Amino acid sequence: MIERKIQLADLVDHRAVIATLSDAFMTDPAFRYILPSDAARAKMLPKFFTLMVDDDAAAGKVMRSAGDQAAALWRNPGMAKDNRRTSFSLLLNMIRLFGFALPRANRCADALTAHLPNGRYHYLHFVGVRSVDQGKGWGGAIIREGLARADADGLPTWLETATPENVPLYQRLGFVTQVEWNILNGGPHFWGMMREPANVC
């Protein structure tokens, strides 16, 4: 049986986490909608995840598998919403990242924020498995590590996905769809899913 070691990513690991997530999200429906060009998306994703890894490390935890097959960004209870979303520095970063695609990026970001539930919960902000390692159990392994922490806290876990193939995986892990929505003007369909904490003895 393959041992899937999951660990907290140190600062020196962040570059590998960024590479893992950038590879994993190349085919993500939301990012394909924002930037349809494969070349533009490949150039943007490492810059985007550099921002996200730094933000989520400050607001929660950055997790990785020992061989960087998978990575996950978690935000702690009460930290789901990015309070810097309207800051001038963040706006400049978004303009640099997305350029003329910024309206589509904002459309997705605004919809995600609007559908965040109230209350306290752990937020699985991003999780991804490198394309060459998909289908080998790494996604479930790295998510279960975070779910164990949520269970220990007695709190639910929230996530969103725009990838239909991921919905059954999340359901097997105990997530239940709470809300679905479409991004306007030809954007992807999203599922918002919640998992209640398991009883911890």
Per-residue pLDDT band at 200 (split at 50, 70, 90): low
Residue among 68, 83, 64 at smallest CA distance from 131: 68
CB 51 within 8 A of CB 102: no
Q: What is the pLDDT of residues 114-144, one digit of tens each?
A: 999 999 999 999 999 999 999 999 999 999 9
pLDDT of residue 86: 45
Give the Cα separation of 49 and 60 in Å (integer): 15
What is the share, in percent, of the chain residues with pLDDT greater than 90? 83
CB 62 within 8 A of CB 53: yes
Give CB contacts under 8 A, 24+ apart, made by 130-134.
Answer: 130/20, 130/23, 130/24, 130/68, 130/69, 130/70, 131/23, 131/24, 131/26, 131/27, 133/69, 133/70, 134/24
pLDDT of residue 89: 64
Give the Cα separation of 24 and 4 in Å (integer): 18
Concatenating the DSSP letter of every residue in 45-61 gives HHHHHHHHHHHHHHHEE
The CATH fold assigned to 6-195 is: Aminopeptidase (3.40.630)
Run of H or E including 146 = helix 138-153
